[in-house]
Amino acid sequence: MTALDATGTVRHIRHRLATRRRTVTLALLVLLALTFAAALYLGDYYVPPGEVLRSLLSPITGLTDRGVDFIVLNVRLPRATLAVLTGISFALSGIIFQTLLRNPLASPDIIGISHGASASAVFCIIILGFSGILVSLGALVGAIVTALVIYALSWRGGVTAYRVVLIGIGMAAMMASVMSYLFTRARLFEVQKALGWLVGSLNASNSGDIIGLAIALALLLPVTVLLVRTLDAMQLGDDTATALGARVEAVRLGLMLVAVAYAAFATAAVGPVTFVAFVAGPIARNLLSGAGKGFVQAALVGALVMLGSDLVAQHALPAVQLPVGVVTGIFGAGFLLWLLVVSNRAGKVN
């Protein structure tokens, strides 16, 4: 093969990968848009698509219908928007951890971050008697503190992926034990309140949660773009990345803090919705088949999983609305079993 033939082959491969990346991204965007539209007109009170559009444009056109506008603008639109934002946040948290630790099982709900947020929230509810925004702030603090403890315990002249995963799993078990102990001290209504928060739900979505999460994403996304540029070098190993000029430990700590922040803000908004962070990255990368890092596509998958799961939670059973965390838990558990089976067949899990 001549040098010219090799150059042509490389160009063909790059073009094919770029085409696949664009196709997957466009398909996910279309699916997300259709699901978002369905979330606005489906419900106990069906709103035709034309009325949904009129309601969305009513601040501009002045054409109003109080009943329909309340349903669309005050109930369904905030809920769907929060589902998309939290799905993006959970997904980015998951794929950062999975890429950084080079382990598809490494996500905030597996390695203890979500458990730390949950234990802190339960403590705030049962021991301190907090509710509302104070519980969310407690969850945020709990996630950050847990992540810092995991990082500190994993440090041995540096941080390695397997230590973070093992210590994270141990931390998750410890936080689960803390929650079990707190439940033994709680009264019935406190247990009900805590369990309702732990399942994760979009039922209490409001503009404050949306604005807070949107601001967090606006601040975190540029930082993520800057830091992930070093990930390719870090995938070759710390020594190689250092030789290429990367500040490995600084970037690793920065990425971990960003990933924790994504998970913490999303958890503070809707509770510890399970498995969205876990499934988004692997699904996106399977769709891409090597045609990119998959961060954008994972964010779209996370939004789609969260929004689609909420639709199923609302309409799967007649006269009963399930918390979205129940649906994502069922879906994620099945995906985890599938991933373990596939990895075992490929010789990746013993």
Domain contains 155 = yes
Q: What is the DSSP letter of 157?
A: S
Question: How far out from the chain centre does Cα 140 lie?
Answer: 15
pLDDT score for 349: 46
Domain contains 110 = yes
Report pTM. 0.88
Integer Cα distance of 182 and 215 in angstroms: 33
Integer Cα distance of 21 and 77 in angstroms: 29
pLDDT score for 245: 66
The pair phi, psi for residue 299, each rounded to 5°, is: -60, -40
Which residues on neighbouring strands pair with residue 235, listed in sequence order? none
Domain contains 115 = yes
pLDDT score for 83: 93
Domain contains 350 = no
Q: How many domains does the chain have?
A: 1
Tens of pLDDT along the chain (350 residues) come to 565 555 666 676 777 777 888 888 999 999 999 999 999 888 778 778 888 888 888 777 776 777 787 888 888 889 999 999 999 999 999 999 988 888 887 888 888 888 998 899 899 988 888 877 888 888 889 988 998 899 888 888 777 778 888 899 999 999 999 999 998 888 888 888 888 788 878 877 778 888 889 999 999 999 998 888 777 767 666 666 666 666 777 788 888 889 999 998 898 888 888 889 988 988 988 888 766 678 899 999 999 999 999 998 888 777 777 888 888 888 888 887 877 777 666 555 44
Full residue range of the structural domain in which residue 336 is found? 3-345
Domain contains 34 = yes
pLDDT score for 2: 60
Residue 279 belongs to domain with CATH number: 1.10.3470.10
pLDDT score for 88: 95
Grouping H, G, I as helix, E, B as strand and the rest as coil, residue 159 is strand
- Tell me the C-alpha to C-alpha distance, in Å, between residue 196 and each of 110, 187, 203, 262, 322: 20, 14, 11, 22, 11
